[in-house]
Structure 1
Amino acid sequence: MTDTLFDYFTAGELPTPTLPTDEAVALFRESYGLDVDLQSLGSQQDQNFLVRPVGDGEPLGVLKISNPVFSETEIEMQDAAAAAVAKAEPGLRIPEIVNGPRGPMTGWWETSQGRLHARVISFVSGATLTGSGYLAPRVVERLGELAAAVSVALASETHPASGRVLQWDLQHAERVIAEIAATEPDPEVREYCATAAAAALAALAPVVDALPRQLGHFDVTDDNVLRPHGVGTLPDAVIDFGDVIDSWAVGEIAVTVSSVLHHDGATYASTLPAIAAFDRRRPLSDDEITALWPLVVLRGVVLVLSGRQQVRLDDANDYASGALDREFEILRRAIAVPIDVATARIRHALGRAGTPAPVWQNASIVPDAVRAVILDARTISPAADEGAWLDDDALERAAQRLLESGADAVVLPALVPALLGAPSRTPEEPATVPTAASVWFAVPTTLVLPAAAESRGGEIAVPATGGILRVSSSSAEVPARTRVRVLLTSLDAVEVPDAVRPSDVPGWSAVVGDATRALGLAAPAGAPDDLLERREAVVAEVQEHYYSRPPQIERGWREYLIGVDGRVYLDMVNNVASVGHAHPRIHAAVSRQTRLLNTNSRFHYAAITEYGERLAATLPDELDTVFFVNSGSEAVDLAIRLAMAATGRQDVVAMAEAYHGWTYASDAVSTSIADNPYALETRPEWVHTVDAANAYRGRHRGADAARYAPEAAAKLRALAAEGHAPAAFLSETFYGNAGGVALPDGYLREVYAAVRDLGGLAIADEVQVGFGRLGSWFWGFRQQEVVPDIVAVAKSIGGGFPLGAVITRREIADRYRTQGYFFSSTGGSPVSSVVGSTVLDIIEDEGLQGNARVVGAHLKTRLAALGERHPLVGTVHGAGLYLGLEFVRDRETLEPATEETAAICDRLLDLGVIMQPTGDHQNVLKIKPPLCISRESADYFVDMLDRVLTTGF
């Protein structure tokens, strides 16, 4: 090793040092006076060992044996750069030279492989992001923050060795690629890399002379950051300053974001949080933004070619060979969209002015006499009603219907998300935005094309100003009733896909315009994107919405919910839409009844009587009298008031950790701290609780759960002895808020008997579990083989319509007269009653209770199997389509995995599944989809959950 700075182009091959471990141990003892154990670590071009003192499990540091091609001055620069960052950013953990018994552990070793430089740098605890697991947006953002912190810290630093030439320095990428490509034996790889590099270099060329330079780390990647062990931690350490050089400053973030691309589900858009975070701390110039994505592409090319070369040179280097697939994935994803598109998307994310979208400057290419109409293929289009969007030919059929109705031409605009024909159950955001306008003519039509337009096989490519398409002809003959795509673009048309993802539109709109004007129509105005902000400005904050940045849902169908961007989500949480979203029979019933009558329930009409009879018929004979209300909260509130009126008492006993509603009485008996953190402190004196009868994580577990019932009975008797004889005992019949936990066998039988012996009543809250959701039982109390005195039910009985009911015995109902009159304007109205009857018809006619039993059993089996592979899975609760998957950090202590559950739900949304946590610890997935869910959808849910648990969240 000399003091000559390393120059990659003259150094030749760079095989890593391969000093035997035994020899390294002996030299360590000789140099530093310590006996240690060494564990080999991976490296691209150096040799690294984890150092532990013999007999002591705590790491002393990392022994780094530098590649002999690097000079001492360069090694000193690395250490100086690390020290500079540590000083500027005291909040970051940065490795430093370790002091041993004989001073700093750094110097030269005479080895069997020649003179090598060895040093021990401090061990930084934690875990890297190595591998290709999923990176959450906040983690990606943190990578950008770290890259910016390092860049700012080193911006004013200089060093004599900073001019060395590394193969990783992107300012030399063109030459590096050319030299390594010449040795690449695979012609397909050579061609693939050459094409990518050429596009990147062309995009980079106009700005290279304007890019600012500085000393930088240039390797702040997933492999070189660490986060503390623990849940939800973010990287706070930067290691491996081996690539410190003076180069283009923007290369710092280019290298960082490239390392994101190989991670599960990542796309170029996945890197935007990192780029935005970098820009906030260290603003990017316009030229740097232009250069950024070309540099990412060049980094990908260099990684691919260098990695393959290193394996050819050193086939025993497992570190290098293990990286080949992910390095190729970085390049594949970097060039998945044209550089112009990626750059425009970055500008949009940073709030910078972008390239104006191509616009139509000429007259219409359609004859003046043609009367064209717009085809609305959006989520809210009537053409998508009743699941029509699921058909592959939905768009074509909608166009033909408009032609049949008398239109001369039908135009589908470009750059507007289309639901018609969109896929369901997609783990990635689907491409639902057409890049070209489409037109269908009722009769054969001649289009007058501008110069440079290109017509081929059902597509006409219309270039924007400065376009590069060839002149073809001055006209094109279009046959009748045939779809023709009219593409307006500044790119070569072959680079433009038929459709793109909605989130990519800000990028593609810089190179693709809407040719609707060319077809004689004004382009439709885009929808404002401030709806969430408007909601939060006008709706009470406490009336929350799911997710911090929720999708805008404007359509439902069966077990699906659909966003305005055409993304179809699998709804696994919505027991309100019990018989499926947008059921046509409910629509027809409401439509018909609103044409007839809808008024308050004091009038005399058939619907309330007929529905009341049908509802009572589903229950034991003694439960024969019905009250109608609007919601579950009202139903529970009324049930409590009925019990108080019937017994003349005020005290109510409820099960702990349960949720029953938001009205005064239903909220008073709700003791779930997940729904109200102050529930236990603010409970009124007339409310008393018994332990949550949770056999999994409650006070009594397993077989000991049999103790809950006698203890609850004893509590009832003790209250009576104290002068607080209960008016009622109230509980869900299946412990819903905890995640569908079944009560211990016989629990309600013993507790109901005890409260009745004391003159009280038994109230069953069936708001969530009733109406066939459990599969084997229509009502939850049937599972416990009891008959309550009062049943409260809502949610599923209206199939999404505001409808609730309380069913009891006639003598209990009559006692309510002591409290005055009961009246609910819309509870039991003609429309709500008709809806209720229709829901019962659907459950029976479509066999939805049976579907809940069969699909639910299959789903529970598959969920339970996840526990065999994923330690986070504690258990599966519930029955039918009322299930709960509980996550724990330790299956012995049952420490709840609260943060993990929230992150899992967020990741599932990215994969097209709507799921939310429940339980006092918010560590249970509440799985209660519409009763019509298919086996295929249930499998998709488990498959996506398995992917999340496997690849990360």
Structure 2
Amino acid sequence: MSAGFNFLEQRELPAPAVDEVQAQRILAQSYGLDASVTSLGSQQDRNFTVHGGDGTVHGVLKVANPAFTEVELCAQDEAAHLIAEAEPALRVSVPLPNSAGEKYTTVTDVVDGTAFVRLLRYLPGGTLLESGYLPPAAVAGLGDVAGRVSRALRDFTHPGLDRILQWDLRFGMDVVDALGPHVTDPALRSRLQEAARDAWSRLSALDDALPRQAVHLDLTDANVVVTRTPGAVSPDGVIDFGDLSHTWAVSELAITASSVLGHVGAEVTSTLPAIGAFHAVRPLSGAEVEALWPMLVLRTAVLIVSDAQQAVLDPDNAYIAAQSDSGMRMFEAATSVPIDVMTELIAAYLGQGQPRPPVRPAALMVAVDRATAVTLDLSTTSDLYDDGFATAGDHAGAALRRGAPVVVTRHGEPRLCNAPRLSQEAPDVVATGIELWTAARTELAAPWDGEISEEVSGRLTLRGNEFELTLAGVTEPVRGTVSAGDVIGSAAQHGPVEISVRPVGAPVAPMFVRSDLAAGWLAVTRDPRPLLGLPPLTTDDRDDLLARRDASFAPVQEFYYRTPPQIERGRRHYLMSTRARTYLDMVNNVTVLGHAHPRIAEVAARQLHRLNTNSRFNYEAVVAFSERLAGLLPDPLDTVFLVNSGSEASDLAIRLATAATGRRDVVAVREAYHGWTYGTDAVSTSTADNPNALATRPDWVHTVESPNSFRGMYRGAEASRYAVDAVAQIEALAASGRPPAAFICESVYGNAGGMALPDGYLRQIYAAIRAGGGLAISDEVQVGYGRLGQWFWGFQQQDAVPDIVSVAKSVGNGYPVGAVITTRAVAQAFATEGYFFSSTGGSPLSCAIGMAVLDVLHEEGLQDNAFRVGGHLKGRLEGLRDKHPLIGTVHGFGLYLGVEMVRDPQTLEPAPEETSAICDRMLDLGVVIQPTGDHQNILKTKPPLCIDVEAADFYVDTLDRVLTEGW
């Protein structure tokens, strides 16, 4: 028996029938407030938001269910004050005194019995329930709040904690049994009862080992308040202590983590950041780790049966109806993975996983010769994929044809050949068993004594005392009792036979599982290789690659994403991680042809077998490549310099201009990036790349306004004034005795997000710079080489011809090749500064690759593809702009696009934090995309030119999902 409320004796708790008019009267009489109220959702109490005349929220009026006693409410109030004092970083909703200075008021005229009324402090920001998708940081914040509350309440005692609530998981099985009949779907009711019984059998066995204490018991997304900042929510407030009880301490975390599963996009692994954050504040014991997932499953079952009962008691309660859908999502997710697997996964995540000894057979299934057996490497870094992505069976067949008697795969390996190219979901790629192929029909022996059952044709299970063996694809299977060494079936010639091993009673693993679940599944399986006489493969415990990078690779060299995947392979417009996840690459304008183009690899290998030296030697490739490049440019651009990078190319372009004109001043455009050398950094004014860019320019650099027709000084039809102002500045420089040597500009504003220049902009400025004796430099490093679709060079879009062109990136398809193309006169003038030489610029290898790139661009019609797919992509992105106000505009041409994110369509306030968070969620869903621009609020969309419509649609559909569900 309990001193307080006992659900087992009073199972029906309809919320007090108090309406908003009655709530206002209570406020006036007890608190002296003339305020308006709005009813809030609640299952057993009645809650109202209290608003002042100016809309200010005074607090939350809580009319407690008459079933709850005064001593219970006192315990809740004291606990709230205790947490507020112990954890000053948390905001806590505590009761405000009424007109008489008391914590609560009793009312009897509006309820059946006596109800206690409190006015609780309002915590602004809203609850986490109001968020759609919960990013890992928000989930971790939720777990941190739960850990702090648990720590603060560890030693709290009070008579009001002696109560039996339906939410107390110590009584979860009783609740499911009692309320289960309210679930009208018999199949669902049966599933709920089965799941609850499994969970309860585990919890009852752990009961004595689980510490107990005061527990809030409802620290869910609905009762944790957040502070909202652009692009993020930070849980930091606690409300509603109505379920405070003395029970299993870890139930605090189980209830908190379960609420994560109700959110869109949540997977079981979405709970891990909350579990880790809780553990960091209030460490979990081994028994608590073992109890955590059974509690979570039981909690979801309790929610569903409770909602079903409450829907009968209070059919007009909209809150109950909304909760019912969420409860079902939580239950389906919680039971989608076996409890044993989740427990092992959590233990591994917390660093508490234990090594498992290998299986030791009494007899070998097959006597395999270790020297001749072939083990396939199907990981991302395997050489097997260099020529394509054939299946495991194809690779095994090739090995058998080469004379291998036996071929096996690897247990626990993420197989890249299993990964789909376009998928928003993490694929099933990690092998929980192995596959066996034999060159001839081979008899298979029982590795231990046991009983054989055949589940379906060709699939049998041998259960021994310690382990179970499952074979699929077996011919001539045997059934019944066998001894170690007895024949149990045969492997057909060229198989395959699937082999999996697990401890007796462990859940049967799928043949392949997701990488994020692999630690759990692999803990309940064993490597079958010892059954074949082969040594088990050691686990590749990779150390922290980012830490190694930071220790030896200058940290100022940035990397994408806070927690990036390890990318070790690419193909066309895809990137592949070591976890065998394939990502759509939407940012790599360097690999214009696509990653790992076989033609480029072949040409490079062939040339390296012949010669690679420097351009001081006389060889044909440097001449042929220079001729090809010059032939792509209009007259009079006919002379080529070859270098290694875009920075070097644009730096050389500046030096050519200063040498040809005898001047030192250069005019550049703000918000632009041209490179990292001294010269190109000097004319780069992008504050995204250098926050001090504008303040640290040398005196020879002069900048003109960024011609941003979307958010700049001049917009729309007035954008033509950018050129007028720039011309005036150039003329003023000349008039002051400092006529500029050059004007340098990206022909499409690449680093600023792919923005188009105003019509006629370059033509007017080129004329002005030349009128003063200067030269026009077009930086085509990012936007040239057919990326714009309709135009091969960006300056063609402007109907202008520069004096010097710098190119790189696309020129070598990722190999370091750059070039400067200019007139013969400008090139000869450079001789006044001595000779020019680049050790590897113009090497036979770089020239061979450069010519192959041009060949493939033409033969595969990639410029046309950029026009066709780019037009389709931009049209679809503009459709998203009309659907999602966060998209301000879509910049660019062809396959150089920029999706600009704004918080306000009128003020155009940039949304950099939102853009960053969107990129993180896009990565989770299989798309590599990154922010750009001075405000870091533009999705730079510049994929390899081989991208197809299917992939373009996948990008847009994924972005649509993120903007709809949240980030």
Give the shorter-chain TM-score range: over 0.9
Would you say the 8 A contact 1:585–1:838 is kept in 2? yes
Write the distance in 2 (CA, Å) between the matches of 1:525 and 1:762: 61
SS at match of 1:762: strand
Residue in structure 2 matched with residue 201 of structure 1 by the alignment: 200
Write the distance in 2 (CA, Å) between the matches of 1:460 and 1:420: 27
| Counterpart residue identity of residue 49, structure 1 | F
Deviation for aligned residue 1:179:
1.5
Write the distance in 2 (CA, Å) between the matches of 1:668 and 1:215: 63
Deviation for aligned residue 1:765:
0.1
Deviation for aligned residue 1:805:
0.5
Residue in structure 2 matched with residue 346 of structure 1 by the alignment: 346
Deviation for aligned residue 1:605:
1.5
The answer to whether residue 800 in structure 2 is matched with residue 753 in structure 1 is no
SS at match of 2:128: coil
Residue in structure 2 matched with residue 778 of structure 1 by the alignment: 792
Residue in structure 2 matched with residue 78 of structure 1 by the alignment: 76
Deviation for aligned residue 1:381:
2.1
Residue in structure 1 matched with residue 475 of structure 2 by the alignment: none
Deviation for aligned residue 1:491:
5.4
Unaligned stretches of 5+ residues in structure 1:
none
- Within a 5 Å distance, the mapping from 1:532-681 to structure 2 comes to 532-681=546-695
Deviation for aligned residue 1:550:
1.2
Deviation for aligned residue 1:355:
5.6
Residue in structure 1 matched with residue 476 of structure 2 by the alignment: none
The answer to whether residue 825 in structure 2 is matched with residue 822 in structure 1 is no
- 92, 95, 111: which is aligned to 1:113? 111
SS at match of 1:878: strand
Residue in structure 2 matched with residue 419 of structure 1 by the alignment: 416
The answer to whether residue 480 in structure 2 is matched with residue 489 in structure 1 is no
Counterparts in 2 of 1:905 and 1:454: CA distance versus 1, 3 Å: farther
Would you say the 8 A contact 2:182–2:305 is kept in 1? no
Deviation for aligned residue 1:753:
0.4
SS at match of 2:57: coil
Write the distance in 2 (CA, Å) between the matches of 1:528 and 1:6: 52
Residue in structure 2 matched with residue 290 of structure 1 by the alignment: 290
Deviation by residue 1:627-649 (Cα, 9 ceiling, x = unmatched): 11110000001100100111111
Deviation for aligned residue 1:419:
0.8
Would you say the 8 A contact 1:461–1:486 is kept in 2? no
Would you say the 8 A contact 1:462–1:488 is kept in 2? no
Deviation for aligned residue 1:524:
3.5
Residue in structure 1 matched with residue 174 of structure 2 by the alignment: 175
Would you say the 8 A contact 1:358–1:488 is kept in 2? no
The answer to whether residue 300 in structure 2 is matched with residue 300 in structure 1 is yes
Would you say the 8 A contact 1:437–1:515 is kept in 2? yes
Residue in structure 2 matched with residue 46 of structure 1 by the alignment: 45
SS at match of 1:38: strand
The answer to whether residue 30 in structure 2 is matched with residue 31 in structure 1 is yes
Residue in structure 2 matched with residue 871 of structure 1 by the alignment: 885
SS at match of 1:161: helix
Between 1:575-584 and 1:260-269, the stretch displaced more is 260-269
Write the distance in 1 (CA, Å) between the matches of 2:451 and 2:952: 49
| Counterpart residue identity of residue 280, structure 1 | A
Between 1:67-76 and 1:102-111, the stretch displaced more is 102-111
Counterparts in 2 of 1:490 and 1:471: CA distance versus 1, 3 Å: farther
Write the distance in 2 (CA, Å) between the matches of 1:460 and 1:536: 50
The answer to whether residue 266 in structure 2 is matched with residue 266 in structure 1 is yes
| Counterpart residue identity of residue 225, structure 1 | V
- 787, 790, 803: which is aligned to 2:817? 803
SS at match of 2:119: strand
Residue in structure 2 matched with residue 99 of structure 1 by the alignment: 97
Write the distance in 1 (CA, Å) between the matches of 2:770 and 2:361: 83
- Within a 5 Å distance, the mapping from 1:51-66 to structure 2 comes to 51-53=50-52, 55-66=53-64
Write the distance in 1 (CA, Å) between the matches of 2:366 and 2:884: 60
Residue in structure 2 matched with residue 883 of structure 1 by the alignment: 897
Write the distance in 2 (CA, Å) between the matches of 1:460 and 1:784: 71
Write the distance in 2 (CA, Å) between the matches of 1:360 and 1:743: 71
Write the distance in 2 (CA, Å) between the matches of 1:582 and 1:379: 14
The answer to whether residue 910 in structure 2 is matched with residue 913 in structure 1 is no
Write the distance in 2 (CA, Å) between the matches of 1:658 and 1:194: 64
Deviation by residue 1:716-759 (Cα, 9 ceiling, x = unmatched): 11112222211100010001111000000010011000000000
Counterparts in 2 of 1:356 and 1:131: CA distance versus 1, 3 Å: farther
SS at match of 2:192: helix
Would you say the 8 A contact 1:215–1:244 is kept in 2? yes
Would you say the 8 A contact 2:450–2:465 is kept in 1? no
| Counterpart residue identity of residue 419, structure 1 | L
Would you say the 8 A contact 1:460–1:486 is kept in 2? no
SS at match of 1:323: helix
- 439, 444, 468: which is aligned to 2:436? 439
Write the distance in 1 (CA, Å) between the matches of 2:821 and 2:797: 18
- Within a 5 Å distance, the mapping from 1:11-22 to structure 2 comes to 11-22=10-21
What TM-score results when the alignment is normalised by the length of structure 2?
0.95
Would you say the 8 A contact 1:766–1:780 is kept in 2? yes
Would you say the 8 A contact 2:763–2:798 is kept in 1? yes
| Counterpart residue identity of residue 598, structure 2 | P
Would you say the 8 A contact 2:468–2:501 is kept in 1? no
What TM-score results when the alignment is normalised by the length of structure 1?
0.97
Deviation for aligned residue 1:335:
1.9
The answer to whether residue 402 in structure 2 is matched with residue 405 in structure 1 is yes
Deviation for aligned residue 1:380:
2.1
Write the distance in 2 (CA, Å) between the matches of 1:545 and 1:363: 51
SS at match of 2:95: coil
Write the distance in 1 (CA, Å) between the matches of 2:765 and 2:452: 80
Deviation for aligned residue 1:194:
2.1
Would you say the 8 A contact 1:909–1:915 is kept in 2? yes
Write the distance in 2 (CA, Å) between the matches of 1:786 and 1:312: 75
SS at match of 2:414: coil
Would you say the 8 A contact 2:146–2:253 is kept in 1? yes
Between 1:779-788 and 1:487-496, the stretch displaced more is 487-496
Write the distance in 2 (CA, Å) between the matches of 1:602 and 1:496: 63
Write the distance in 1 (CA, Å) between the matches of 2:357 and 2:515: 16
Between 1:84-93 and 1:707-716, the stretch displaced more is 84-93
Write the distance in 2 (CA, Å) between the matches of 1:861 and 1:807: 34
- 513, 529, 534: which is aligned to 1:500? 513
Write the distance in 1 (CA, Å) between the matches of 2:463 and 2:536: 18
Write the distance in 2 (CA, Å) between the matches of 1:539 and 1:783: 40
Would you say the 8 A contact 1:358–1:489 is kept in 2? no
Deviation by residue 1:669-691 (Cα, 9 ceiling, x = unmatched): 11111111122222211111111
Between 1:318-327 and 1:195-204, the stretch displaced more is 195-204
- Within a 5 Å distance, the mapping from 1:691-840 to structure 2 comes to 691-840=705-854
Deviation for aligned residue 1:221:
1.0
Would you say the 8 A contact 2:368–2:534 is kept in 1? no
Between 1:799-808 and 1:371-380, the stretch displaced more is 371-380
Residue in structure 1 matched with residue 256 of structure 2 by the alignment: 256
CA RMSD, 1 decimal: 1.9
SS at match of 2:883: coil
Deviation for aligned residue 1:347:
1.4
| Counterpart residue identity of residue 486, structure 1 | I
Counterparts in 2 of 1:803 and 1:59: CA distance versus 1, 3 Å: same
SS at match of 1:868: helix
- 855, 864, 889: which is aligned to 1:850? 864
Write the distance in 1 (CA, Å) between the matches of 2:795 and 2:632: 12
SS at match of 2:116: strand
Deviation for aligned residue 1:885:
0.6
Residue in structure 2 matched with residue 278 of structure 1 by the alignment: 278
Between 1:465-474 and 1:313-322, the stretch displaced more is 465-474
Write the distance in 1 (CA, Å) between the matches of 2:901 and 2:330: 33
| Counterpart residue identity of residue 399, structure 2 | L
The answer to whether residue 949 in structure 2 is matched with residue 935 in structure 1 is yes
| Counterpart residue identity of residue 145, structure 1 | D
- 466, 484, 489: which is aligned to 1:476? 489
Write the distance in 2 (CA, Å) between the matches of 1:480 and 1:808: 66
Would you say the 8 A contact 1:360–1:515 is kept in 2? no
Would you say the 8 A contact 1:902–1:917 is kept in 2? yes
**What is the number of residues matched between the two proteins?**
946
Between 1:172-181 and 1:642-651, the stretch displaced more is 172-181
Unaligned stretches of 5+ residues in structure 2:
470-478
